[in-house]
Structure 1
Amino acid sequence: MTKLLMGSFQLMKSLNRSLILNMIRSEGPISRAEIAKKTSLTPPTVSNLVKELIDTDIVMESNQGESRGGRKPTMLVINAKNFYIIGVDVGPSSIYSVLTNLNATVLDSVKINLTSSMTNGKLLEVLSDSIRQLFQRNAKIDQERMIGIGVAMHGIVDVENGISLYAPILQLRDVPIKEHLENEFKMAVKVENDARAMALGEAWFGNGRKTDEFVCVNVGEGIGAGIIINGKLYHGDDYLAGEIGHMTIDINGPKCSCGNYGCLQALAAGPFIAERMKKEIAMGQESLITEMAGGELGLITGELIYDAAVKGDQLSQRVLDETGRYLGIGLTNLIHTVNPKKVIMGGGVSKAGHFILDSIKKTIEQRGLTIQAKSTEITASKLGDQAAAIGGVALLLVELFATRSAE
């Protein structure tokens, strides 16, 4: 019985410490008295727990606040600049790693391109190399102040065990990312699907702040979505939630990398947009892009199509508009299923701006069931190319500021 009571006491202490830490993070600078008032904890309890947090150096005292007739209160803030996290974006064609502080300010970054034929071992080798380079270039950083490594991995991820179950574009299965990195770097590692990590990054630092219900859609070489419900990531029963790239849009459509036909990804992801443009030109359609690619159809990319559209090329504009319609159909299905307050668009294809976004919004307005569904806010990612890597950073922040059930 005594052991049970002791455990309950330690749990309450942990819960209260987490409560205080989160309040300092979200509302700081804040005084001890304000924390006591807002949490209904006693002033002595707040003082004791704040002292523990200051001793760990995660919290620091800042400038004094305004006086209300007595001594000026000392304010508390998170000591964000003296702790570090590595965030990694493992995409189909490259690995992009960043070193940040707790405010997700990028201090250094490394990008390594992947070869066309990857094995599990080779991917883990490149992943380690990118992180190792950050450590080597920032050797003065105290390793004790490294919180950990967060990996945003495309495809289906076993979040609990940190395993990439299936990366369809790389055609890799069962990659033990967490085990490998923890063994090599001796620190905490969190692994998540890239679109879900992006959603978490937007929730902490981007256009998802102060929004409890939203979807972040990553449209690049593949298509995925991160779903935030009640302020938390939704994973589904076996981590499959958000794989909207493989929802069927056209049963007679082109073959997808997953093996099915007519997936949203096979109609609207970057490589497939380029393939559609190549077919149009091969069939005799005129376009500025032929000259821009030097007559080499193999050099046509989504980025080149966008550049041609900006220059007024009608075929490029039509292809991007059609892409937006496909995405709009997929997003309408998602809106009818999840009913989010907003949809945040990220990834390379989203950079096409109004050429795609206008078509997406128009399609949703045409197909939405209700006035609210038709007017669902569609906005671009605030974090841009760094969204997935910053999402990796957010994975560790969630862990750091989470309420733990035991010490």
Structure 2
Amino acid sequence: MTTKYTRGSFQLMKSMNRSIILNMIREEGPISRAEIAKQTRLTPPTVSNIVKELINTQFVIETTQGMSKGGRKPTLLEINADQFYTLGIDVGTFHMKFVVTNLFGDLKDVTSLPIGNYPGNEDILSIMKQGIQDLLYSGKNDPDKFLGIGVGMHGIVDPEEGISLFAPSFQLRNIPIKEELEKDFNMIVKVENDARTMTLGEYWFGNGNDADNMVGVNVGNGIGAGMMIKGRLFHGENSIAGEIGHVTIDLSGPKCTCGNYGCLQTLAAGPAIAERARKELKTGKPSIIHELVDGDFEKVDGQVVYQAACEGDEFSIDLLNQTGRYLGIGLTNLIHTINPKRIIVGGGVSNAGDFLMKGIEETIQSRGLTDKAKETSIVLSKLGEHASAIGACVLVLEEFFVR
């Protein structure tokens, strides 16, 4: 028993040390073996053996020599960023985005496929498989370079089993994403909620890389949040942590797809912005939107409202400011609940940028409990429209860099 336990512990420690060293090279490279040993407190022979293994597997390469402190110049190590790729998928309401990134999250390839009306489980899986095939076998990418596939799926997800438990935009349940994709493509597949993948992407490669306690809020056709606590995604007991789109903001508000009234997403998500615009325009409110849609209010969507705001339309500017105020109430609730260092706002609606931020900041200033709460950093996503898909790639990278 003792021998078995010791052997298992040694393999675990070796794996942990490997990840620690690999992550240090990723974050601080180019870096010398001696500096790695100093910072990790691992013995120089241990560091040398693991580095040799990492070089053999081509995750790490030796690069230009560092400054000498007397004696021979040290050879520095850095990540061999373009030797391996990951493939990330962001499952939206109307489109599925696919990206290929290297080990530093740099985009190497992008494609998008439409999602038809009322898709079934098989339709969603079929579109995923088609997009993956397109990127793996387009001739632009070497299929042997791919480490795995990450999927950011809206709604409730079981990340352990890789199942979409409930996708509200499609009213679909129990889509076996991990099982199906691993069977067809024979590589690791990780599945997570899209707001959490957005948060993960920003934490690794975006505006969250200096904040271990942060929240990413994905504002699109729905609203969801990813919560990062001490550098780890927080899921809650049943993987529903972060469903702030269904926090009640107005008891007398519009009915939500979840069946409740006045949820945040009925007031601040993309469809809510369009619905409020249509309703007020029909009462005769003056706006250049009338001309932009040729009087056809069915053509009014969030993008049209944003376009009008950019052209100085007071009606649209006020509408987006009000949307920001609704979002600000939701974000204030988050600040008072988990007190993050930073909140990053992403998703399609975040393209409205300054128009939204004005309302968000005003609300937090008026509702924040303390001066420190009011000073919480609120920023827009750095990774933009690809944040969730890039974050899905990070799900795979975590398997190699984090233990």
Return the TM-score normalized by structure 1.
0.97
Within 5 Å, give how 1:169-188 maps onto structure 2.
169-188=169-188
Q: Deviations over 1:290-323 (max 9, x none)?
A: 1100111110010100111122222212211211
Answering whether residue 376 of structure 2 is matched by residue 376 of structure 1, we say: yes
Answering whether residue 205 of structure 2 is matched by residue 205 of structure 1, we say: yes
Which residue identity lines up with residue 7 of structure 1 in the other structure? Answer: G
Native 8 Å contact 2:135 2:141 kept in 1:
no
Answering whether residue 286 of structure 2 is matched by residue 286 of structure 1, we say: yes
CA positional deviation for 1:60: 1.2
State the SS of the aligned residue for 1:137: coil
Change (3 A) 1:140 1:119: closer
Within 5 Å, give how 1:208-219 maps onto structure 2.
208-219=208-219
Within 5 Å, give how 1:356-371 maps onto structure 2.
356-371=356-371
CA positional deviation for 1:157: 0.6
- Match of 2:151? 151
Which residue identity lines up with residue 127 of structure 1 in the other structure? Answer: M
2: CA distance, partners of 1:13 / 1:66:
30
Q: Deviations over 1:205-262 (max 9, x none)?
A: 0000021111111111110111111111111101101100000001110011212111
2: CA distance, partners of 1:142 / 1:375:
47
CA positional deviation for 1:142: 4.6
- Match of 1:95? 96
Aligned residues: 402
State the SS of the aligned residue for 1:62: strand
Q: Deviations over 1:9-59 (max 9, x none)?
A: 222222222221121111111111111111222211111111111111111
Which residue identity lines up with residue 27 of structure 1 in the other structure? Answer: E
Q: Gapped runs of 5+ residues in structure 2?
A: none
1: CA distance, partners of 2:141 / 2:196:
32
Please say which of residues 3-12 and 368-377 is displaced more in the overlay.
3-12
Answering whether residue 23 of structure 2 is matched by residue 22 of structure 1, we say: yes
Change (3 A) 1:138 1:241: farther
Answering whether residue 255 of structure 2 is matched by residue 243 of structure 1, we say: no
Which residue identity lines up with residue 308 of structure 1 in the other structure? Answer: A
- Match of 1:387? 387
Native 8 Å contact 2:136 2:143 kept in 1:
no
1: CA distance, partners of 2:335 / 2:143:
46
Answering whether residue 290 of structure 2 is matched by residue 295 of structure 1, we say: no
CA positional deviation for 1:394: 0.9
1: CA distance, partners of 2:391 / 2:5:
38
CA positional deviation for 1:284: 2.1
State the SS of the aligned residue for 2:111: strand
2: CA distance, partners of 1:94 / 1:158:
22
CA positional deviation for 1:286: 2.0
Answering whether residue 216 of structure 2 is matched by residue 196 of structure 1, we say: no
CA positional deviation for 1:375: 1.6
2: CA distance, partners of 1:316 / 1:19:
50
- Match of 2:55? 54
- Match of 2:254? 254
Native 8 Å contact 2:19 2:400 kept in 1:
no
CA positional deviation for 1:2: 1.6
CA positional deviation for 1:101: 0.9
State the SS of the aligned residue for 1:77: strand
Measured on the aligned residues, the alpha-carbon RMSD in Å equals 1.1
Which residue identity lines up with residue 37 of structure 1 in the other structure? Answer: K
Q: Deviations over 1:164-186 (max 9, x none)?
A: 11111111111111111111111
Native 8 Å contact 2:306 2:316 kept in 1:
yes
Which residue identity lines up with residue 262 of structure 2 in the other structure? Answer: G
Within 5 Å, give how 1:214-363 maps onto structure 2.
214-363=214-363
Which residue identity lines up with residue 188 of structure 2 in the other structure? Answer: A
CA positional deviation for 1:139: 5.7
1: CA distance, partners of 2:18 / 2:292:
59
Which residue identity lines up with residue 246 of structure 1 in the other structure? Answer: H
- Match of 1:77? 78
1: CA distance, partners of 2:365 / 2:240:
28
- Match of 2:130? 129
Return the TM-score normalized by structure 2.
0.98
2: CA distance, partners of 1:45 / 1:14:
12
2: CA distance, partners of 1:65 / 1:46:
18
Which residue identity lines up with residue 23 of structure 1 in the other structure? Answer: M
Which residue identity lines up with residue 396 of structure 2 in the other structure? Answer: L
Answering whether residue 35 of structure 2 is matched by residue 66 of structure 1, we say: no
CA positional deviation for 1:402: 2.2
Q: Sequence identity of aligned pairs in percent?
A: 57
Which residue identity lines up with residue 222 of structure 1 in the other structure? Answer: G
